[in-house]
Amino acid sequence: MENKIKTDFEKTFKNFPLKEELDFKKNNLENFIKKGFPGKKMESWKFSDLSQIINRNLGELNFYTDPALKNLIDKTVIIKKFEHNKIVFINGKIEEIDFNFEEKDKIQVSKGLSNQINSFEENSLLSLNNAFCKNFYNITIKTNYSMKKPLIVYHMINKDISLTTVNSQLSFYLEKNSLLKIIDIYDEKSEKNFINTFYNFSLKENAILKNFKIDNSQNNNIKYSFNNIDQEKNTISETFILSNGSKFLKNEINCNLKGKYSSAFINGIFSLNTDKHHEIRTSVNHLVENTKSYQLIKSVLDDKSKSAYQGKIYVNPEAQKTDGYQLSKCILLDKNTEFNAKPELEIYADDVKCSHGSASGSLSEDSIFYLRSRGLNYKQAKKLLISGFFLDVIEKITDEEVKNYIKEIMEFN
Amino acid sequence: MEEKNLDLIKDYKYGFSTDIESIKAPKGLNEDVIKFISKVKKEPKWLLDWRLKAYKRLKVLKEPDWQKPKYPEIDYQDLYYYSAPKSFNEKPKKLEDLDPKLLETYKKLGIPLDEQKKLNGIAVDAVFDSVSVATTFKDTLTKHGIIFCSISEAVQKYPDLVKKYLGTVIPITDHYFATLNSAVFTDGSFVYVPEGVRCPMELSTYFRINASDTGQFERTLIIADKGSYVSYLEGCTAPMRDENQLHAANVELVALDDAEIKYSTVQNWYPGDKDGKGGIYNFVTKRGVCKGNNSKISWTQVETGSAITWKYPSCILKGDNSIGEFYSIAITNNHQKADTGTKMIHLGKNTKSKIISKGISAGFSDMTYRGLVDISPNAENSNNYTQCDSLLMGNKCGAHTIPYIKNKNSNSNIAHEATTSKISEDQLHYCQQRGLNQEEAVGLIVNGFCKEVLQQLPMEFAVEAQKLVGISLEGSVG
């Protein structure tokens, strides 16, 4: 792989003008080459051995995408259900940025250097992303501005590429009192790619972030998504993850509660079948006092699917009066399914309220019996129970439009 | 002088050392030392070969480093691997022949080796540094066909049994410290309860580290044959020394069909002084296998001592309908550190496991619960319930919970709950209003917090453990 990645790197950045930026990329490339794709030996990849998954499903990967490829936006993918702003990635390259529904001077889009966040050196996938991500944008929501419509980021992969790593990054600055709603939607026309996405959110005082990650289209790609959220005083972040379509998907949310009275909500559902393998890993760092976090993850597994949840609540010695909660639940429908959980608490302050719970098991026979005695057949009863199980999480979404959209694609309406 | 002594005793009353001449193997870890140990113990060749095989394996193994409490590198060549009181060239046949200094030591520790003083009918095997010094109540046990002796004695007298079971639960290819133990283990207890026998009394081993620069590597093997029952207790103390001493024991339990083993530990090794100097590194491997159907293994532990406690008493639930239980109280104060928990590995059908863990950390200490519940695809209808609660006292300490939950069977259920909190002002207020001072109030609340686990201990131990809980937390409030 090493030679391949080096030549691909040179091909990608032939005649690249910015020397400093190139050095940064080279460092990241070296870090990735040194560490490689993460494997089981790393604690954070204990339940999902990515290097093995890539070897088994993809084999030798390309790291180069020809910039001359025709990139037409497939209009059928664009959601018509509700009005929205959009950013469209095609094969990792931004093709369209459109904030037509917003006041022009309230949103600032600037092309910048890649996310110079180096504090995740352990994370080799971030290094890979930093090394290969070619165009990178900072998006700033100005003070006191609440976005009228949500922003949908489309990640499209067309037929021209295959067995390729696709790296994309975005960075969002939410100034004081601003609000951003962002939805990630994937559309893949090609199989067997590795898609690596990295977002960085920075929330200033009183800002609100609503972050929805929807993986719904059935595909054979391997995906990794990392979101870093830094929160100052009185900020709220809400993340919802629908983990459903990809062959492999790992969503990682790293949330730093840096200001008093800031709070983070992370909710997720896994609805998996065939031999899919998905994971959510969260890390909520309570760094100052009076912060709050809430996590709810529910999973329904069928066929040979596997899901894993690794959630960590870290409480700094200064973070007194922390309120942290984690709950993960799983229903295993088939005997070949597997659910792994590692809900972790790391606490250094005494005046805190932290708890977690995890439960996994089969669909309750009693509940099925109850429903069947009231005239439903087995299939209907099962469907009703599962939708009830999931709706518990979906109802937590604070945005009506998105909530209804998710209910619709999950066929719960 | 007197006063100073009293102060020390209040801190850790087992901190004295016995001035007794001892024979030691040469310092360091190499084949010669292993051969020396084997020779002194007059071991058969197969056991020496077994040890050497473990040593060979040890050379390629690396020390694990994923644990939370980090410790300075241990120089394995700077340790004595065998130390025995000099008067032990020949093991004394009768108690009267025992060095009076040894008897005195155990008297100070409150462990009666003298059968005339019969305390509550507990049979004791006392291990001093590397050798077992005395085993009491042998006659009564022999009458029931129960074998309770030191493992060295068992190697001589019951080689077939030892050979059959030694290393079957913790193989020599296990992790670093277990393999180290296999190579250099010195003594420990051996228990065999024959088919259908319910052991009439509690069996108990008392471990004492005395010599300095020594590691204690004992090995305990308990076999409960079909339909039998045994309850086994373990206690440990060590003198106060400034250096850290290593204690890497292996405990293996085997429960055959319908058998039950109850294993209780009150661990009170020297925890180091207030500034975290000295103390024992307690890196113990304890594992039990429910080999037969309907068997049961239950671990109960009260961990109050040691500078670093790093152990996971585990159950492998192999037989159908077998049950594994784990009850634990771990208390860390001052600069103590603990990384402890359990592993429940469900392999058989209809297996059940229950984990109750209570952690209390005070002072500058750090406590981690780390546990694994693994339900394999064939373990139909299995159940696990886990509850781990942590109590924090003061804002300089840490409490962590790291459970690993793996469910690979759709007919099995796992439930896990964990909470972290401090003693609430309301509770304290209520108790103080009724005339308790703050320390008493804390003691009462903590005892209530631990009650579920304390109840699992045999009577005599429960009383001691309850006191120990109080003493360990002295000075941590207010």
ipTM: 0.86
Nearest CA in chain B to A300: B410
B167 touches chain A (CB under 8 A): no
pLDDT at B121: 55
* Chain B residues near residue A46 by CB distance under 8 angstroms: 404
Angle made by CA atoms B444, B446, B450, in degrees to the nearest 5: 115
What's the half-sphere exposure (Cβ side, CA atoms, 13 Å) at A50? 23
* CA–CA dist B387, A397 (Å, integer): 30
- What is this structure's pTM? 0.87
Q: What is the mean pLDDT of chain B?
A: 83
Q: Confidence class of residue B5 from pLDDT cuts 50, 70 and 90? A: very low
Provide the 10 A C-beta neighbour count for residue B87. 19
Arithmetic mean of pLDDT, B22-29? 78
Which of chain A's residues have a Cβ under 8 Å away from the Cβ of B416?
341, 343, 356-359
Which residue type sits at A66?
D
Q: For position B4, what pLDDT does the model report?
A: 41
B148 forms beta bridges with B191
Is residue A37 over pLDDT 80? yes
**What pLDDT does residue B6 have?**
38
Tell me the one-letter amino acid at A254: N
Q: Averaging pLDDT over each range in A21-25, A55-59, A401-405, B83-87, which range is the top one?
A: A401-405
| Candidates A317, A337, A354; nearest CB to B410 | A337
Chain B 367-386, CB below 8 Å of chain A: which residues?
377
- Map tokens 């870093």 to a residue: A228
- Chain Cα centroid distance, residue A363: 28
> Chain A partners of B408 at a C-beta cutoff of 8 Å?
337-338
Segment B455-476, tens digit of pLDDT: 888 777 777 777 777 777 766 6
Q: Cβ(B88)–Cβ(B23) under 8 Å? A: yes
Chain-centroid distance of CA B274 in Å reads 23
* pLDDT for A352 beyond 70: yes
Nearest CA-CA partner of B305 in B262, B273, B275, B327? B273
pLDDT of residue B478: 45
Task: Indicate the angle between helix axes A378-394 and A365-373, nearest 10 degrees.
Answer: 120
Q: How many CB atoms lie within 10 A of CB B392?
A: 27
User: Nearest-CA residue of chain B relative to A353?
Assistant: B421
Sign (positive/negative) of CA torsion A35, B68, B370, A390?
negative
The C-alpha torsion from B41 through B47 and B51 to B53, rounded to 10°, is 160
CA atoms within 13 A on the CB side of A162: 7
State mean pLDDT over B239-255: 84
Q: How confident is the model at residue B268 (pLDDT cuts 50, 70, 90)?
A: confident
Cβ neighbors of A378 (< 8 A, separation 6 or more) are A368, A372
Q: Token digits for B241?
A: 């020394």
Of A338, A342, A351, the CB nearest to B408: A338
The three-point CA angle A218-A219-A221 to 5° equals 145
Q: Residue B3: is its pLDDT beyond 50?
A: no
Could A338 and B415 be called an inter-chain contact, meaning their C-beta atoms sit closer than 8 Å? Answer: no
Residues of A in contact with B409 (CB under 8 A): 332, 335
Give residue ranges of A with CB < 8 Å to any B CB.
Answer: 43, 46, 317, 320, 330, 332-362
d(CA A93, CA B211) in angstroms, rounded, equals 69
At B118, the pLDDT band (50, 70, 90 cuts) reads very low
- Phi, psi for residue A64 in degrees, rounded to 5: -115, 130
Extract the tokens encoding A79. Answer: 């959601």
Closest chain A C-alpha to B222 CA, distance in angstroms: 33
**pLDDT in the model for residue B415:** 93
Q: pLDDT-based confidence at B11, cuts 50/70/90?
A: low
Contact call for residues A77 and A187 (beta carbons, < 8 A): yes
Contacts of A346 in chain B (CB under 8 A): 398, 400
Contacts with B67 from chain A: Cβ below 8 Å = none
Nearest to A100 by CA among A80, A86, A79: A86
Among residues B160, B164, B138, B167, which one has the least CA distance to residue B150?
B138
CA–CA distances in Å: residue A40 to residues A107, A193, B475: 42, 21, 44
For A255, phi and psi rounded to 5 degrees?
A: -125, 120
Residue A273 in tokens: 């079948």
Asked if B396's CB is within 8 angstroms of A342's CB, the reply is no
Evaluate whether A361 touches B414 at the Cβ level (below 8 Å).
Answer: yes
Q: Does residue B210 or residue A231 have the better pLDDT? A: A231
> What is the 3 state secondary structure string of chain A?
CHHHHHHHHHHHCCCCCCHHHHHHHHHHHHHHHHHCCCCCCCHHHCCCCHHHHHHHHCCCCECCCCCCCCCCCCHHHCCCCCCCEEEEEECCEEEEEECCCCCHHHEEEEEECCCCCCCCCCCHHHHHHHHHCCCEEEEEECCCCECCCCEEEEEEECCCCCCEEEEEEEEEEECCCCEEEEEEEEEECCCCCEEEEEEEEEECCCCEEEEEEEECCCCCCEEEEEEEEEECCCCEEEEEEEECCCCEEEEEEEEEECCCCCEEEEEEEEEECCCCEEEEEEEEEECCCCCEEEEEEEEEECCCCEEEEEEEEEECCCCCCCEEEEEEEEEECCCCCEEEEEEEEEECCCCCEEEEEEEEECCCHHHHHHHHHCCCCHHHHHHHHHHHHHHHHHCCCCCHHHHHHHHHHCCCC
Q: Distance between terminal CA atoms of chain B?
A: 29
pLDDT recorded at residue B48: 92
CB-neighbour burial class of residue B459 (10 A; exposed 0-12, middle 13-18, buried 19+):
exposed
End-to-end CA distance of chain A: 47
pLDDT given for residue B96 in this prediction: 61
The radius of gyration computed from the CA coordinates of chain B, to the nearest angstrom, equals: 22
Q: Is B332 on the interface with A (CB under 8 A)?
A: no
Given this model, what pLDDT does residue B267 score?
Answer: 84
Between residues A120 and B195, the one the model is more confident about: B195
Q: Which of A171-180, B167-176, B303-312, B454-463 has the lowest mean pLDDT?
A: B454-463
A155-172 b/e with 16+ CB inside 10 Å = b?
bbbbeebeebbbbbbbbb
Q: What is the pLDDT of residues B362-395, one digit of tens each?
A: 889 999 999 999 999 999 999 999 999 999 888 8
A190-224 pLDDT, tens digit per residue, is 888 999 999 999 999 999 999 999 998 888 999 99
pLDDT > 90: percent of chain B:
39
| Inter-chain CB proximity B411 and A338 less than 8 Å | no
How far is B304 from B11, CA to CA, in rounded Å?
A: 13
d(CA B475, CA B464): 19
Taking 50 as the threshold, does the pLDDT of residue B288 lie above it?
yes
For residue B15, give the nearest of B293, B240, B258 by alpha carbon.
Answer: B240
Best of B339, B420, B422, B425 to disrupt the A interface (most A CBs within 10 Å) is: B420
Across chain A, what does the average pLDDT equal? Answer: 90
Q: Which residues of A touch B410 (CB under 8 A)?
A: 332-335, 337, 362
A37-42 CB contacts, 8 Å cutoff, 24+ apart:
A37/A124, A37/A125, A38/A123, A38/A124, A38/A125
Q: Please say whether the beta carbons of A223 and A252 come within 8 A.
A: no
By CB atoms closer than 10 A (0-12, 13-18, 19+), residue B90 is exposed
pLDDT at residue A153, as a whole number: 94
Task: Give the number of other Cβ atoms within 10 Å of residue B275's Cβ.
Answer: 9
